Amino acid sequence: MAEKVTIATVAQHARVSRQTVSNVINAPHIVRPETRQRVQDAIVTLGYRANQAARQMRTGRSRLIAVRIEPTRDGINGSVLDRFLHGLTETAEASGYRVMLYTAADDDREIATYGDLLSAYDLDGFVITGTDHGDPRTAWLAEREIPFVTFGRPWDHLQSHSWVDVDGAAGTAAATAHLIAAGHRRTGFIGWPAGSGVGDDRRAGWRRALVETSVDPTALDAETEDGIAEGARAARELLDRPAPPTALVCASDSLALGAMQTLRTAGADLPVIGFDDTPVAAAVGLSSVSQPLGDAAARCVDLLTDLLDGPRHGPRQVLLRPALVLRHPA
Amino acid sequence: MAEKVTIATVAQHARVSRQTVSNVINAPHIVRPETRQRVQDAIVTLGYRANQAARQMRTGRSRLIAVRIEPTRDGINGSVLDRFLHGLTETAEASGYRVMLYTAADDDREIATYGDLLSAYDLDGFVITGTDHGDPRTAWLAEREIPFVTFGRPWDHLQSHSWVDVDGAAGTAAATAHLIAAGHRRTGFIGWPAGSGVGDDRRAGWRRALVETSVDPTALDAETEDGIAEGARAARELLDRPAPPTALVCASDSLALGAMQTLRTAGADLPVIGFDDTPVAAAVGLSSVSQPLGDAAARCVDLLTDLLDGPRHGPRQVLLRPALVLRHPA
DNA sequence: GGGCAGGATTGGAACGTTCAAGTTGGTTGA
DNA sequence: TCAACCAACTTGAACGTTCCAATCCTGCCC
């Protein structure tokens, strides 16, 4: 094992003081180019790497950001997190940050974990996913002025903190417009009960697209909880109506998958478009609205590092457009 | 914001020295019970939490373990990582460790990242997934005596380091036995080309189950790369043989899914069992061999903390039995 | 040539913890 | 009676970095 190389080793090797080495690293512009070069050479030669713990103790900053890894929800939608985490880690690395994971069974314990992570590890910031109306977590963080970004809009006060989200309405609108263009004026929708921000948003996009072509959406709308069985049931119910839809847009791939099952057993051949572009959709040839998760993760890191490193400007928001992925059932 | 509470604050409050507080935390048995209680009360009252950075600087240990988050492979099998990570994080927390993520495009860069993580963050250990024959990463770590555990057997020298794995052969054997018990003596297998440790293992289980009932496996075996289309092709090829199988076991859910497609279009109704129990399998009602990922993750952490905290004993190995999840296609 | 401004560099101190080497005070044993 | 010992606790130093204040140059102007 090689000797431990510290800032002092580098200083000695480059015949300068510790502080000058530190300056080369943290404020290169105040060091004379000639000296800077000599120090940089020494750093490379010795393979020096700044010790984060020591830096952290002095500065109080850890260059660490925390993300919660959720106790795998229904599984079918869960795999979304994978891609998001990967994007997050990758972008964070590029900005000199690292990602730390944590879990929590509920909001209260999650908040307790914040305290722990902050005082024990000096965490710099948080990325929060799956926010709800009046989320206690964001309130807690905001109150203490701890930097954080949410992936998902706060549906109550849109401007109060930084967030990144995907424009679900634009996604369902695009899906609906695609079906209308293919001749399906009566495109139905299976979505979640009103009240969830995300669900309402996705329904709104579908509704908008229909209204734009002067079709009344009310008779083509089905509300149900998420799930394959629920989707199947809702599809059956829609087909039994007086003027059934000739195509379907769904708020999730789970619902869409259920709908496809109903259609197959009923021998009906309506096009269905899901939401989230999960692996399942790809596997069964289901068209779906795809969230740009890599981008979303990258923007989350950007907004967070903005809060951490950047000059003091208020919170920022980013709304990304999803893409429509068209497939043909096998 | 509350005043920062350090070990000195606690010491003052409990009328003891810093060191005694430190002892209460790290070596309680050497402190008189009475004093210990007083210190512990002070800790609770003040809400003291040991600063990791300071501890780390002194001890050289970070209580951090690193896991790679992979650049989402084919998606269908990828969602396995989610559950594994969650289990890892949860168990690590219980043992007082935290999980840090990293990415790397290839083995070389992964090794470079090890160096970075070790010298900058003083990482205590690594959990490595997806190991291959003669993996350069494990060699690098072993050479430097850095604690690590792999999820997946090293297929060359089984005893050289700690690992956790799932007994794939037991899984396919159970699946095959189940089908045989249902009357399918000619149970076929679709697996990957010989040479991959995991693939060969899964094939071996199927083969063993057949041989036990005196059926010759050779004519019922198909080799192909992983993928839905490949699975479909292999199934067609198997069905065209002189004595086609009456049931199928597959090395992955992707292959199984492809096989199911072929069977449906061919109007054949053979039972199919996949491997990994991915969300896709659950969605389409595919029976599958389920890996106990939560357990596996927990055991990984156990073995790693064993290496880190425990008394010096050699590497250990854990082989977990997978479970057969039976479903009925919708 | 002496004074001065300002950029470049330096040395001491501090962050919060644990290690190593103490100091106390009480008990044992010859 | 006093050395030796032990348990319980304390004190100073060190980990590697950055902050802060001080010092050293260098060139410029009068």
Written as one string, the DSSP assignment of A103-130 is --SSHHHHHHHHHHHHHHH---EEEEES
Alpha helices in A4-65 (DSSP H): 7-14, 18-26, 33-46, 52-59
B237: exposed, middle or buried (C-beta count within 10 Å: 0-12, 13-18, 19+)?
Answer: middle
| Fold topology of A168-290 | Rossmann fold (3.40.50)
pLDDT value of position B1: 47
Mean pLDDT (chain B, rounded): 91
Rounded to a whole number of angstroms, the distance from the CA of A280 to the nearest CA of chain B is 5
Instruction: State, as a whole number of angstroms, the distance between the CA of B23 and the C1' of C19.
Output: 12
Contacting residues of B for A115, CB less than 8 Å apart: 49
Beta bridge partners of B248: B188, B272
Nearest to A280 among B102, B119, B280 (CB): B280
Give the mean model confidence (pLDDT) for residues B163-184.
Answer: 96
Give the mean model confidence (pLDDT) for residues B302-320.
Answer: 88
pLDDT class for A67, splitting at 50, 70, 90? very high
pLDDT value of position B2: 58
Q: Residue B317 is encoded by which pair of tokens? A: 């190995």
* Residue A290: HSE in the Cβ half-sphere, 13 Å Cα cutoff: 17
Contacting residues of B for A85, CB less than 8 Å apart: 69, 85, 101
Mean pLDDT (chain A, rounded): 91
The Cβ of residue A95 has, within 10 Å, a number of other Cβ atoms equal to 15
| Fold topology of A7-50 | 434 Repressor (Amino-terminal Domain) (1.10.260)
Q: Give the closest nucleotide to B33 (alpha carbon vs C1').
A: D8
Segment B68-92, tens digit of pLDDT: 998 765 554 556 788 899 999 999 9
Q: Is the dihedral of CA B206, B212, B218, B219 positive or negative?
A: negative
pLDDT value of position A150: 95
Looking at chain A, which residue has its C-alpha nearest residue B53?
A: A53
Nearest to A78 among B1, B51, B82 (CB): B82
| Identical topology for domains B7-50 and B64-165+293-320 | no
For chain B, report the end-to-end CA distance as a whole number of angstroms: 57
Write out the H or E segment, with its range, that includes residue A249: strand A247-250
For an interface test with A, the pick among B57, B61, B80, B82 (most A C-beta atoms closer than 10 Å) comes out as B82
Q: Domains of chain B: which residue ranges?
A: 7-50, 64-165+293-320, 168-290
Q: Concatenated DSSP letters for A54-93? A: HHHHHHS---EEEEEPP---SSTTTTHHHHHHHHHHHHHH
Nearest to B83 among A72, A119, A122 (CB): A72
Q: Is the pLDDT of residue A307 over 50?
A: yes
pLDDT value of position A9: 94
CB contact under 8 A, B283 and A228: yes
Least confident stretch, A8-22, A73-87, A124-138, B55-69: A73-87
Give the mean model confidence (pLDDT) for residues B99-104.
Answer: 95
Segment B107-134, tens digit of pLDDT: 999 999 999 999 999 999 999 988 877 8
Looking at chain B, which residue has its C-alpha nearest residue A146?
A: B1
Q: Give the closest nucleotide to A39 (alpha carbon vs C1').
A: C9
Cα Rg of chain B (Å, integer): 25
What is the three-state SS of chain B? Answer: CCCCCCHHHHHHHHCCCHHHHHHHHHCHHHCCHHHHHHHHHHHHHHCCCCCHHHHHHHHCCCCEEEEECCCCCCCCCCCHHHHHHHHHHHHHHHCCCEEEEECCCCHHHHHHHHHHHHHHHCCCEEEEECCCCCCHHHHHHHHCCCCEEEECCCCCCCCCCCEEEECHHHHHHHHHHHHHHCCCCCEEEEECCCCCHHHHHHHHHHHHHHHHCCCCCHHHEEECCCCHHHHHHHHHHHHCCCCCCCEEEECCHHHHHHHHHHHHHHCCCCCEEEECCCHHHHHHCCEEEECCHHHHHHHHHHHHHHHHCCCCCCCCEEEECCEEECCCCC
Looking at chain B, which residue has its C-alpha nearest residue A256?
A: B283
Taking the C-alpha atoms of residue A96 and residue B225, their distance in angstroms, rounded to an integer, is 38
Looking at chain A, which residue has its C-alpha nearest residue B74?
A: A279
Q: Residue B90 is encoded by which pair of tokens? A: 């949860």
| Fold topology of A64-165+293-319 | Rossmann fold (3.40.50)
Contacting residues of A for B266, CB less than 8 Å apart: none
pLDDT value of position B287: 97
Q: Is the pLDDT of residue B329 over 80?
A: no
% of residues, chain A, pLDDT over 70: 96
Give one word for B96, left, alpha or beta, with left for phi > 0 and alpha for psi -120 to 50.
left
Instruction: State, as a whole number of angstroms, the distance between the CA of A215 and the C1' of C24.
Output: 91
Give the mean model confidence (pLDDT) for residues B273-286.
Answer: 88
pLDDT class for A1, splitting at 50, 70, 90? very low
B92: exposed, middle or buried (C-beta count within 10 Å: 0-12, 13-18, 19+)?
Answer: buried
- Domain B64-165+293-320 maps to which CATH number in 3.40.50.2300, 3.30.420.10, 3.30.70.141, 3.40.50.300? 3.40.50.2300
Segment A208-252, tens digit of pLDDT: 999 999 999 999 999 999 988 899 999 999 999 999 999 999 999
Instruction: State, as a whole number of angstroms, the distance between the CA of B149 and the C1' of C21.
Output: 38
